[in-house]
Structures are given as C-alpha cells and as structure tokens.
Amino acid sequence: MRSLPGILLVVLFCTAIVSAQTAEELVAKNTQAKGGIDKIKAIKTLRSVGNYQQGSFLAQVGQDAKEPDLVRETFTLQGMTQIQAYDGSTGWQISPFQGRKDPEMLGEEDLRNLQEDADFYGPLIDYQQKGNRVEYLGHDSVDGDDVFRLKVTLKNGDILYYYLDPDSFLEIRTEKQQFIRGAMRETVTDLGSYKQVAGVYYPFSIETGPKGDPSSKAKITFQKMEANVPIDDSEFKMPSAPAVPSPQKHEEFPVPQKKTPKPPLPTKPPTKP
C-alpha cells in the first residue's frame, strides 16, 4: 500500500504539472489574442504619442521603441522636454525640469525600470529564453469581474501580476512589485481601449499609480501609434557630453504613482503588456 507522504508527493507533482501547463496555455492565448506571434514579431519599431493627465496637470508624452531592447521616452511640458533612453547597454537622461540640460547616466533604480520598458515584445513573449518564470494563480476579480491571474517573476527579481480577461485573454490590469532599498514598492496599472496597430492589439489607455492610493493615479491616453517607422539606433545613444552619474534617489520617469514632481512615462505599451 502506498504511504500517505508518497501519495501527497504524487498529488503535488501532478498539480505543479497542471499549473505549468495552464500558465503556458494562458500565455499562448494572450499572445494569440493580441494578433499571434508572427504579427507581433513582424513589428520591429513602435512610435507612440499621447497625453498625460494627473488631476488637472496635463503634459505630452512620447515613446520610440525598437526591438529587441531599445527605448526612448519623452515628457514635454511648457516647451521643455525630459528624455530617458536605453540603447541596450546604457541608460541615460536629459532632465531640464531639474535644471540639467546635459545628458547624464541613469542611476541603478531608474535604469532597472527603463530596462524593463525596453523589453520590446514584453515579458510574456519568449519568457523562458529571457529567464522569466510564469505561474498560473487561478481566478481572481478586477472591479467585480472574473479574471485569470498570472504571476511573472522577471530575471532581475521584480514581480508582475497579469490579470487576463477570460473572454478576450488580453490583460486588463497588471501589478508590479519591486524591492528598492529594502522596501517593497507596488504599482497598479489598468489597461484598456485596445486598438489594432499593424494587426496587433495595443492598449491606448494606461492608468497607473501606487497600489492602495487611487487618488495618485495618472492616465496616459495615446492619440497615435505607428509600427515599423524608420528609427535609427543613434536615437537611443547618449549624446556626447560630460556624463555625471545621477543620484540614486532620483525621481522615476514617469512619476505618477510613486513620486513627484516628475510624472511618469508609461511602461511601454504591450504586445505583451
């Protein structure tokens, strides 16, 4: 007769297999819902332009992205433009709102966020090759509606929770957990108004802020997204000028949720999220 501990081990093993298969299946359905892997990977560049709003505060945002991991994000207010960019190895910024007009290297915290934005196809596409781990956590609810919940542990240790609509299999919410200087920072992002760009669905509405503080949410509404526009790699390179490491306690770009005064640029619209 098989021992109870042996039976428990078999049950746990089988549960792990079913969970892994379910997670992989949901990732596949999410990928297909966005347009399918072929259409997703046919997009090599993406240019996005939109408006940023937090309360009565208004500004313009933009993002140029190029596969596999190049990104340039802008935040424009009253004729001044803040830039953060990552060229696949180096992260830099120009921050006129802080009185800095010369390019400077990003600190470790800002660099980590920008590197995550730079993942062109998102953390779910080719997640195993990227060193990410995906787990299915079962059903949950968002604003009273049933959803599937995925946990994505990035290679760098940050954690993303994806809430997938059970009908469309598109993500309608993500939650992000980061451990920064010994403290956990949690961010909630609601995604909506999906529209097709070159056959792939992207969210044109992104509302983000610190978890538990809805009054601090900022909303980005995209007016335009263009796929496969010519973008030279030089756009992402730091201009030649004296580069000084920026302080580690630098405000994140964008700032809605977690900081001020500088509001945030959205995490790159998903082909993912």
72 backbone φψ class: left, alpha, beta (φ>0; ψ -120 to 50): beta
Contact yes or no for 191/201 (Cβ under 8 A): no
Q: Say what the pTM is.
A: 0.80
101 and 90 in contact (C-beta within 8 Å)? no
3's tokens? 């021992």
What backbone phi and psi angles, to 5 degrees, belong to 104? -140, 150
pLDDT tens over the chain, length 273 residues: 455 455 444 444 444 444 445 999 999 999 999 999 999 999 999 999 999 999 889 999 999 999 999 999 999 999 999 999 999 999 999 999 888 889 999 988 889 899 999 999 999 999 999 999 999 999 999 999 999 999 999 999 999 999 999 999 999 999 999 988 778 899 999 999 999 999 999 999 999 999 888 788 999 999 999 999 999 999 999 998 554 555 554 444 444 443 434 444 444 444 444
Looking at domain 4-236, its CATH class is mainly beta
Segments making up each domain of the chain, as ranges: 4-236
Residue 96 burial (CB count, 10 A): 13
